[in-house]
Structure 1
Amino acid sequence: MARRRKGLPINGVLLLDKAAGMSSNHALQRARRLYQARKAGHTGTLDPMATGLLPVCFGEATKFSAHLLDADKVYRTRVKLGETTDTGDAEGEILQRRALPDALDRGAVESVLERFRGEIDQVPPMYSALKHQGRKLYELAREGKTIARAPRRVTVYDMRPFGWADDGFWLEVRCSKGTYIRTLAEDIGEALGVGAHINALERLETGPFDSARRISLETLEQMDEPTRLAQLLPADVMLEHLPKLGVSDAVATRLLHGQPVTVPETALEAGAQARLYRDQSFLGLVELTGQCEITPRRLIDTASI
């Protein structure tokens, strides 16, 4: 006899406000237990030190979480000058201290920041979740090992300093996926000749989501079940950057059975993906694979909704 999966068929996206001091997985599991959800996943790890927006997907929404992994992000961080650490943040061991000038030259900082706007190459830090031969780099780093890492091309769309102090400043960064803010701060510190690490990091935005609706675990714990469920957003909010395609019941039925269909006409270009709807009900993702041929790519289990 097949074992029944534990939990409830909860579907949707929770904009969780992650607190400092816990891993993203710990935050995810606490949220999952609160909702008693059968299936859950997050959409991009935040370091334990970091706070802020951590979208959590439940149920059918997990099928589309990759679109948030690939999305642009906005962070707020504090760059502390004059000290480097082995992790690039305040949780690491101090490697070097360098003297700072009596007053921070804001003009020099602005000049250096300009060099890091646009497309740049970053070497991923050893203290990261990237893998080498099946092991995460941070596991190897904790063993005192260093592995050569190839630089990666990322984009810093905008970067604005504020909150100036004698030993550093706050920085708001809008960037592409895969950007390491710790590494960005370290590189800025080296360009200034004094070294740096971050001692605060907050994610403000990811993809279509900002911080307006994010909610903490403590607040969720105080809610009754209907109010807690009302915090969930529908899965298709992650896909609003894609065009919308409405189809008839007959066409929807064929697509839900995995069959490609030919439609009379469409504004989609070959290879384009679209959100599929029957009436106002979201059914998943389809792709234009031929002349007016629509092929299912990632569909929801309508029986679970």
Structure 2
Amino acid sequence: MSAVAPRPKIVKRAVHGVLMLDKPLGLTSNDALQKAKRLFRAEKAGHTGTLDPLATGLLPLTFGAATKFSQVSLEADKGYRATLRLGITTTTGDGEGEILERRDEIARSIDLSAIQSACVPFRGLISQLPPMYSALKHQGRALYELAREGVTVERQPRQVTIHALDIVDWQADELLLILDVRCSKGTYIRTLAEDIGSQLGCGAHLAGLRRTSSGPVRVEQAVTLEQLEALDEPARLALLKAPDSLLGEWPEVELSNDEAGRFLSGMRRRVALADMPQVRVYGQTPHAFLGSGHVAGGELIADRLLSPTEIASMLVQAA
């Protein structure tokens, strides 16, 4: 019996940037991240907030120096297209759970006007009770792990903001309600679906979910894993947005070469600027991204800095 030839070892490399991925149905966010990381042969990678396996859509992935700024995308407002199945509640709040109750007859009596009225209380600042089937931790364990064991723990309501809640379609024959939601971070769309169903008196669960935006980035700018696999390495690298793209809406501060060196060493720099809570900082020659900071009392103070090695590697990658 012939020995199986070992797989060739993947030689990893420094890769810096942000990939806008369109996550497929069925994959966890980490599964998608690991597939993309292998395709780029990247040394370091992360994602900017998880999507459930049953959800699809925009999942920004960060590589190398960009991982230092993942929190910016994590904190950003999100957009979703949610499909609600009215008339059925489930144990998990989505289509994977067991049916708790069916009220199809009540759901069939609902018209668009009733749906519009039911959505009104869920716009603006609202309170949500995190679902048991969520990644929220309790004593070091995810709530969904406890839920699968039949354990329910007390959760505290959270304040979230629904910036927009728009009705896209009401498919009365299928009892499917499609909504566009723009919300603050930490919003549970399955809880929103259940709460709207309760407001309507028929119950509901989340039958489908697609993330359409994260901050200023939209899913139309994203690529699928299949598209990524079909490209050669130079074409893949060309898809990466620069690490500072996550900070694109922040004011820019440019420093002379001497001042840039001092800033990178963590020293505060005097600047003739008004106070600003968030700025992106660049060197002058070349125009290289140095990191993030804030301005207070006439001083530029570093928050997240790139290393000289990362800066040099990014300049080579961009060349």
TM-score range, shorter chain: over 0.9
State the match for 1:48 in structure 2: 53
Q: Which amino acid aligns with 2:89?
A: T
Contact 1:208 1:238 in 2 (8 A): no
The number of residues matched between the two structures is: 296
1:83-102 paired onto structure 2 within 5 Å: 83-101=88-106, 102=108
Shift of 1:221: 0.4
Q: Which amino acid aligns with 1:136?
A: A
Spell out, residue by residue over 1:188-237, the C-alpha distance to the aligned partner (whole angstroms, 9 max, x if none): 00111111001110000001211222000011001011001000001111
Match of 2:222, SS state, is coil
Shift of 1:254: 0.6
How far apart, CA to CA, are the structure 1 residues paired with 2:104 and 2:258? 72
Work out which of the residue numbers 240, 248, 255 in structure 2 matches 1:247. Answer: 255
State the match for 2:179 in structure 1: 171
Work out which of the residue numbers 90, 105, 128 in structure 2 matches 1:122. Answer: 128
Work out which of the residue numbers 13, 17, 23 in structure 1 matches 2:22. Answer: 17
State the match for 2:275 in structure 1: 268
Q: Establish whether residue 149 from structure 1 lines up as the match of residue 155 from structure 2.
A: yes
Q: Which amino acid aligns with 1:171?
A: L
How far apart, CA to CA, are the structure 1 residues paired with 2:21 and 2:44? 16
Contact 1:104 1:165 in 2 (8 A): no
Q: Establish whether residue 63 from structure 1 lines up as the match of residue 71 from structure 2.
A: no
Which of 90-99 and 181-190 deviates more?
90-99
State the match for 1:75 in structure 2: 80
Spell out, residue by residue over 1:18-39, the C-alpha distance to the aligned partner (whole angstroms, 9 max, x if none): 0001101100000001001111
Q: Establish whether residue 236 from structure 1 lines up as the match of residue 211 from structure 2.
A: no
How far apart, CA to CA, are the structure 2 residues paired with 1:93 and 1:118? 31
Q: Which amino acid aligns with 1:245?
A: V
Shift of 1:162: 2.1
Q: Which amino acid aligns with 1:251?
A: E
Shift of 1:103: 4.3
State the match for 2:13 in structure 1: 8
| Amino-acid identity (%) | 51
Shift of 1:91: 1.2
Shift of 1:165: 1.4
How far apart, CA to CA, are the structure 1 residues paired with 2:163 and 2:221? 24
Q: Which amino acid aligns with 1:250?
A: D
State the match for 2:8 in structure 1: none
Q: Establish whether residue 34 from structure 1 lines up as the match of residue 55 from structure 2.
A: no
How far apart, CA to CA, are the structure 1 residues paired with 2:301 and 2:113? 55
State the match for 2:289 in structure 1: 282
How far apart, CA to CA, are the structure 1 residues paired with 2:19 and 2:268? 32
Q: Given the two structures, how large is their TM-score scaled by the length of structure 1? A: 0.94
State the match for 2:4 in structure 1: none
State the match for 1:204 in structure 2: 212
Q: Which amino acid aligns with 1:234?
A: A
Match of 2:104, SS state, is coil
How far apart, CA to CA, are the structure 2 residues paired with 1:117 and 1:218? 37
How far apart, CA to CA, are the structure 2 residues paired with 1:41 and 1:49? 20
How far apart, CA to CA, are the structure 1 residues paired with 2:203 and 2:282? 52
Shift of 1:273: 2.2
C-alpha root-mean-square deviation of aligned residues, in Å?
Answer: 1.2
Match of 1:163, SS state, is strand
How far apart, CA to CA, are the structure 1 residues paired with 2:30 and 2:256? 40
Q: Which amino acid aligns with 1:15?
A: M
Shift of 1:148: 0.7
Q: Given the two structures, how large is their TM-score scaled by the length of structure 2? A: 0.90
Contact 1:74 1:206 in 2 (8 A): yes
Q: Establish whether residue 221 from structure 1 lines up as the match of residue 226 from structure 2.
A: no
Q: Establish whether residue 108 from structure 1 lines up as the match of residue 125 from structure 2.
A: no
Shift of 1:100: 2.6
State the match for 2:304 in structure 1: 298
Which of 89-98 and 43-52 deviates more?
89-98
How far apart, CA to CA, are the structure 2 residues paired with 1:7 and 1:56? 17
